[in-house]
Amino acid sequence: SMLKAKPLTQAWRGPLPFELPPLVRRTSSAVTRGATLANQVAVVTGSTKGIGFAIARRLAQDGAHVVVSSRKQQNVDQAVVELQGEGLSVSGTVCHVGKAEDREPGGHGALKHCGGVDFLICVAGVNPLVGGILGSSEQVWDKMLNVTVKAPALLLTQLLPHMEKRKGGSMILISSVGAYMPYSKLRAYNVSKTALLGLTKALAVELAPKNIRVNCLVPGVIDTAFSQVVFEDPSLWTYMKALCGTQRVGQPEDCAGIVSFLCSSDASYITAESIMVAGCSFHL
């Protein structure tokens, strides 16, 4: 009968009882600003897994061409295949940041085709669990300082001519919440991460005349393979919770948006800054 409700599909057949706005109107004009990093090139070290991988993916999603790298060819290939499979513009190269030959732009072969570098993001780090200061051997110190502190500065020196071909640039170092707080088992690591805060300030001043900004990302506990050793020591997590009410462990993606922002022109007046992504913060 007439009173019987029509199935929905039938009810919607025929002209709609109202006018839909034209399709273009439903996409805000803001999408033209979506690719904030279009036509720019990013080099991200230690980017085949974890935080570096999430950063590489985000920078590419925001329009940059990204050169991913790490020590192992197999990991590089895997990361490149995965990101290219998502339709992203990436290339890859092996780069152990502690090895001089790998830091040469030749080692970053992909760069030759890029016409310059806009962003250098130094994510590669050293496994943190090396014990106390007094127990750390000279070799541990060398490795820690080589990879964490010296490598970003030396890599920058190598890539600077490529960065100077562009209008300006952005460098981002990755420190750690450990830079601010003494925790028994991570001391040499923490000291190397504290040094990065100083390196950020010093490089920012030195590179300002070249219009290259230098900032520092300071992650808290982020869920990656690297931090599993930290999770194995529950006292750290208990400490973080008690000290600053941190409610959850961070994910690599939590670190990615801020890096994209710091590279973007929206951050063009931000340099020498360090920003915690830790579910808490120790700055005033």
Ligand X SMILES: NC(=O)c1ccc[n+]([C@@H]2O[C@H](COP(=O)([O-])OP(=O)(O)OC[C@H]3O[C@@H](n4cnc5c(N)ncnc54)[C@H](OP(=O)(O)O)[C@@H]3O)[C@@H](O)[C@H]2O)c1
Closer to ligand NAG by Cβ: residue 162 or 187: 187
Q: Between residues 140 and 211, which has the closer beta carbon with respect to ligand X?
A: 140
**For residue 111, what are the β-bridge partners?**
none
Say which entry of ligand X, ligand NAG, none residue 222 contacts (CB below 5 to 8 A, set by partner kind). ligand X
Q: Are 71 and 46 in contact (CB under 8 A)?
A: no
Residue 140 tokens, joined: 């541990």
* Of 11-19, 59-67, 81-89, 96-104: span binding ligand X (CB under 6 A): 96-104
Instruction: Give the Cα separation of 32 and 29 in Å (integer).
Output: 6
Name residues contacting ligand X, limited to 76-95 (CB under 6 A).
95
CA separation, residue 53 to residues 43, 150, 155 (Å): 12, 22, 19
Footprint on residues 181-220 left by ligand NAG (CB under 6 A): 181-183, 186-187, 190
- Is 180 among the catalytic positions? no
CB of 232 to ligand NAG, least distance (A): 13
Helix (H, G, I), strand (E, B) or coil at 137: coil
- Whose Cβ is closer to ligand X: residue 71's or residue 166's? 71
Partner touching 139 among ligand X, ligand NAG, none, CB below 5 to 8 Å by kind:
ligand NAG
The conformational region for residue 4 under phi > 0 = left, psi -120 to 50 = alpha, else beta, is beta
Residue partners of 158: CB distance under 8 A and separation at least 6: 103, 104, 105
Contact 121, 55 (CB under 8 A): yes
Closer residue to ligand X, CB minimum distance, 37 or 149? 149
Total interface residues for ligand X by CB under 6 A: 28
Q: Using CB distances below 5 to 8 A depending on partner kind, what does residue 146 bind out of ligand NAG, ligand X, none? A: ligand NAG
**Residues 137-176 vs ligand NAG: string with x where CB under 6 A?**
--x--xx--x-----------------------------x
Q: Beta partners for 14?
A: none
Long-range contacts of 80-88 (CB under 8 A, 24+ apart): 83/56, 83/57, 86/57, 88/57, 88/60, 88/61
Q: Which of 59, 60, 64, 98 binds ligand X (CB under 6 A)?
A: 98
Interatomic CA distance for residues 111 and 195, integer angstroms? 29
Partner whose binding site includes residue 195, from ligand X, ligand NAG, none (CB under 5 to 8 Å by kind)? none
Exactly one of 92, 98, 107, 279 binds ligand NAG (CB under 6 A); that residue is: 98
Closest to 224 in 3D by CA, of 264, 253, 260, 251: 251
Task: Enumerate residues 200-239 that contact ligand X by CB under 6 A.
Answer: 219, 221-222, 224-227
Nearest to 192 by CA among 268, 125, 259, 242: 125
Q: Which of residues 12-41 bind ligand X (CB under 6 A)?
A: none
Active site residue ranges: 189
Binding site for ligand X (CB under 6 A): 45-46, 48-52, 70-72, 75, 95-98, 123-125, 147, 174, 176, 219, 221-222, 224-227
Binding site for ligand NAG (CB under 6 A): 98, 139, 142-143, 146, 176-178, 181-183, 186-187, 190, 236
